[in-house]
Structure 1
Amino acid sequence: MLSKEDQILLSHVDHTLLKPETSWEQIKKLCEEAVSFSTASVCIPPSFVKRASEYLHGKIPVCTVIGFPNGYHTTSVKCFEASEAVQNGAEEIDMVVNLGWIKEGRFDLEEEEIRRVKEACHGKILKVIIETCLLTREEKIKMCKTVSMAGADFIKTSTGFSSGGATFEDVALLRKEVAPEVRVKAAGGISTLEDARRFLELGADRLGTSRIVRLIQDKNTD
């Protein structure tokens, strides 16, 4: 039986599988684990959203990614991806920003893109991935303001497909700088239960990880 501490931790986990070689059998297993352990959602590739949504029958929210993993899709493409994902049953959308615009200082363009994608989500949750490992501290702070002004629901550290993932320092910074109503998602490289709990203590509300369910599963079968 799971401890209350483990149950609380799992309730913050987006149980994730985004590898390009992912098969339906792997997604189905992920969904079954998510239901069994009562995670916050399953985070899966867009091509599996409809099938997973039908398989889950509303037991666990389906989350998917758009503009993933590099973020340089056009805004129109990201909006189409978001709208289609919602039509297919996605309850949560994790989008990657245009990092080139950020490096150019075009935060106005990024704010408009986030606004448009949020509209395309038709009221569903939007998480904005800023890929913290590629940004300066100043750029991270400016993106906190941009995400807040654009009306997104979450700011998310990382895709897990770049040069680094979530760090304690970044999560603390995002929680400090983003608007109070915007939640923080830590993702990428979360490999221990201790680190996962530390991210929550620092202000993360969600954890994007493929490992936490397995770690708790292993702990409870020892």
Structure 2
Amino acid sequence: MDRKAFCHIIDHTLLKPEATREQIEKLCIEARENEFATVAIEPVYIPYAASLLQGSKTGITSAIAYPHGSWSIKAKCHEIGLCLKAGASDCDYVLDLGALKEGNWDQIRKEARECRKATGSAILKIILEVSLLTDEEIRIASLISAEEGADFVKTATGYLASPTIEQVAIMTEAVAGTKTSVKAAGGFSSMKRVQQALDLGVKRIGTSSAFKLLEELQS
């Protein structure tokens, strides 16, 4: 993969709670200059990022129900609507992890369906937080997400343990043959690890180490 194509699959990420406007500005300038897919930021900074990225090829990923996922469906849909109105192009929401661990798949399906409706034509990514899940839970959650029309299933928030490559493989296998892709995030800070994910069919990388990866790619 050449540098330009690689940049186009990167969600250039800054989700630290102490992030400042100055840091968001730097993130957006870098993303705009390199044509990263999106900047991934907290909702409060969406209007500012939208003003900085106006006219560029870079979108804005908003973190929804982040990082624990313990919002009601109604609250998640409301937050999605607010973020889209503010200028987001992508919405990454953390699913209801408690419901998932209880095996309440009807709740997981309903949540995915309602969030898909709320997102409309924008891009929806569902975060599974795979380090907390069994292999079977990862498989079922990925499949339900695909069946309900998610554009991506995403490995992790980056706040907990990094996903293993084996867990990424379960996700890519679960959504194979559907219109849903996999976004790898959480500890993807080396080109070796990123390449392993890409070889499995991952289509988007969420990282705060974009320039380190680019240096490794070019070398």
1:38 Cα deviation from its structure 2 partner: 1.5
Residue pairs, 1:137-156, within 5 angstroms: 137-156=135-154
Distance 2:55 2:180 in 1: 25
| Residues 88-128 of structure 1, C-alpha deviations (whole Å, 9 max, x = no match) | 01000000000100111111111111111111112100000
Instruction: Say whether the 8 Å CA contact 1:10–1:213 is kept in structure 2.
Output: no
Q: Report the secondary structure of 1:90's partner residue.
A: coil
Instruction: Say whether the 8 Å CA contact 1:86–1:122 is kept in structure 2.
Output: no
Instruction: Say whether the 8 Å CA contact 1:193–1:212 is kept in structure 2.
Output: no
Distance 1:92 1:83 in 2: 11
Partner AA of 1:206 in structure 2: R
Instruction: Say whether the 8 Å CA contact 2:113–2:148 is kept in structure 1.
Output: yes
Could you say which residue in structure 2 is the equivalent of 1:30? 27
Distance 2:181 2:217 in 1: 29
- Residue 162 of structure 2, aligned match among 154, 162, 165: 165
Residue pairs, 1:22-61, within 5 angstroms: 22-59=19-56, 60-61=58-59
Could you say which residue in structure 1 is the equivalent of 2:194? 196
Percent identity, please. Answer: 37
Could you say which residue in structure 1 is the equivalent of 2:82? 84
1:34 Cα deviation from its structure 2 partner: 0.7
Taking structure 2 as the reference length, the TM-score comes to 0.94
Distance 1:93 1:77 in 2: 14
1:217 Cα deviation from its structure 2 partner: 5.3
Instruction: Say whether the 8 Å CA contact 1:114–1:147 is kept in structure 2.
Output: yes
Taking structure 1 as the reference length, the TM-score comes to 0.93
Question: Structure 1 unaligned runs (5+)?
Answer: none
Question: Alignment RMSD, CA only?
Answer: 1.6
Question: Structure 2 unaligned runs (5+)?
Answer: none
Partner AA of 1:207 in structure 2: I
1:219 Cα deviation from its structure 2 partner: 7.8
Q: Report the secondary structure of 1:51's partner residue.
A: helix
Distance 2:217 2:181 in 1: 29
Distance 2:116 2:24 in 1: 26
User: Larger deviation: 30-39 or 164-173?
Assistant: 164-173
| Residues 40-90 of structure 1, C-alpha deviations (whole Å, 9 max, x = no match) | 111011000111112210411011110100001111111111000000010
| Residues 155-184 of structure 1, C-alpha deviations (whole Å, 9 max, x = no match) | 00000012x123211111111111521010
Partner AA of 1:186 in structure 2: A
Instruction: Say whether the 8 Å CA contact 2:129–2:156 is kept in structure 1.
Output: yes
